[in-house]
Structure 1
């Protein structure tokens, strides 16, 4: 991935998923372009994938002479957000800005959805038309299997192994993995494939793609974001939501119900456990529950003695 492609993908993410205004998006882009201008002076091929924290430290030292502390903090925050996105999408295993000191920088953990919030999203879908049935199937599939949006839109009929209880997913680096799928999601997919999808004539080379638009083409990433945004508005959901929110919720629920982090790493298709830890944050109420349940000094365990 080169810088041009990275900026394009990131700004689309900010616009469609985060819903940022044009001026805010341009501000984020300027931060990255400042870094690129510095890299150009080094006369060394450096991409957003292989840039190191040392290079960014050099950049910050070079530019900090011209910035006040507040501007410096904002610049670091902008770069950190960009590299968080690359880690989030599995283009990188780490964020090279993590070791860069920044005054008054607070990092926001990704949102998760409660079960009731996911149910509400599904319940407001208009099932009187085929697109509604498709959209319900999409949400059920992402949340049931923890798919990336790119994995969902490229899912094919030949990837379904319902008798075995798995689907085959083409993830980052063109690597396949098998993900278990719940029987209720199998039923939902079977209904969509058998009763809804046949009314659409797939375009050439799209015959095997599961989720199609009305013109017979596979759905775009942007379309999935838009579908979820519109449903969130209907339910008055105040959280920032996108396909990654459902994926993150999938992983968080597994962890809270006792799944090992390494297992979740395999299900999500992460090469690095560090990436999984970014998706799967623990809320303080759950941490308190774990300590009270398992620590030898907890009231529960003392009473059992």
Structure 2
């Protein structure tokens, strides 16, 4: 916990935290990151929310740079200060200027999304069933199938409720998802993912009892902890994903976001429209989804082979 000496600054930070979560609809993780950036600065600075200048902020960023902080972290710090002082100007109306508006974010290197191959996906999903403990194997199999087939964020998967599932021909094939910024979207999955989830729901009912929403938990993904039924948290799903990757002998650590990247890349490679992938992922703009339009070695080889055969 950071102790900030200026009472007014503490009050404004609390108000800002509430505003970005409940009024702006930012994800809790993003809101917490912004607040943490601001609290760290004001904890060690003599500047206050009302007195901070552009020079103060530049000096702080230079200090972070000397401490070898990553450009992505520095960019987020700038975003945190921009958002906070924009709030003070527009909402609280306690400042006339935004001292962060003149500061540019560092350029970030473009990173290709990490994906796994179709063969690796098949191995991971198969091993989720064959290598997991008996009471967990159907759940893990359905979970990994759903992660790949839906492209959902791990936090969205953890938040899934039985009552939100939509059925087609007896299979759970879609649901409404509340994503970043409290934006709602509809997500569809493949028939195989629907079959896997139906099998898990049937087994879940046998293992853990009635699934109706008026019971203690309506969560899709659950486990027993100290005798009580609990929703699988994001961290638990990350651990399951990592274990399934180990079962499949992947030479790297598998994480849920890699499954999301793989879903998007595979969808585009198989002819899905960029707009459809954008909506499925819950992206704000096509520019974000455009990172999946990358070429791999096989694409480049096909491109070379497609050229007219001329003698050099």
Q: Normalization by structure 2: what TM-score?
A: 0.64
- 1:1-305 equivalences in 2 (<5 Å): 2=17, 6=29, 33-34=40-41, 41-43=48-50, 61-63=58-60, 71=66, 74-80=69-75, 100-101=105-106, 106-125=109-128, 126=131, 129-163=134-168, 166-172=173-179, 173-201=181-209, 206-214=216-224, 215-278=228-291, 280=292, 282-285=294-297, 288=300, 299=307
User: Mean Cα displacement is larger for which, 119-128 or 192-201?
Assistant: 119-128
Deviation at 1:270, TM superposition (A): 1.9
Report the RMSD for the aligned CA atoms in angstroms.
4.2
Query: 2:90 aligns to what?
Result: none
Q: Are the equivalent residues in 1 in contact too, given 2:125–2:141 (CA < 8 A)?
A: yes
- Residues in 2 aligned to 1:33 and 1:254: alpha-carbon distance in whole angstroms: 42
Q: Are the equivalent residues in 2 in contact too, given 1:168–1:176 (CA < 8 A)?
A: no
- Residues in 1 aligned to 2:296 and 2:49: alpha-carbon distance in whole angstroms: 44
- Residues in 1 aligned to 2:118 and 2:281: alpha-carbon distance in whole angstroms: 20
- Residues in 2 aligned to 1:286 and 1:261: alpha-carbon distance in whole angstroms: 21
Q: Secondary structure at the match of 1:217?
A: strand
Q: Normalization by structure 1: what TM-score?
A: 0.65
Q: Secondary structure at the match of 1:213?
A: strand
Deviation at 1:131, TM superposition (A): 1.0
Query: 2:24 aligns to what?
Result: none
- Residues in 1 aligned to 2:46 and 2:125: alpha-carbon distance in whole angstroms: 46
- Residues in 1 aligned to 2:114 and 2:281: alpha-carbon distance in whole angstroms: 17
Q: Are the equivalent residues in 1 in contact too, given 2:75–2:105 (CA < 8 A)?
A: no
Gap change, CA 1:232 and 1:106, over 3 Å in 2: same
For residues 193-243 of structure 1, what are the alpha-carbon distances to aligned partners after superposition, in whole Å with 9 as ceiling and x for unaligned? 123443114797544322111232211001001111222233342334321
Deviation at 1:135, TM superposition (A): 0.7
- Higher-Rg structure is 2
For residues 135-194 of structure 1, what are the alpha-carbon distances to aligned partners after superposition, in whole Å with 9 as ceiling and x for unaligned? 110000111111111221222222222317741132224443222221111111111112
Flag structure 1 segments of 5+ consecutive residues without an equivalent: 11-28, 46-54, 85-95
Gap change, CA 1:249 and 1:262, over 3 Å in 2: same
Deviation at 1:58, TM superposition (A): 6.0
Q: How many residues align?
A: 253
Q: Are the equivalent residues in 1 in contact too, given 2:158–2:233 (CA < 8 A)?
A: yes
Flag structure 2 segments of 5+ consecutive residues without an equivalent: 1-15, 21-27, 80-100
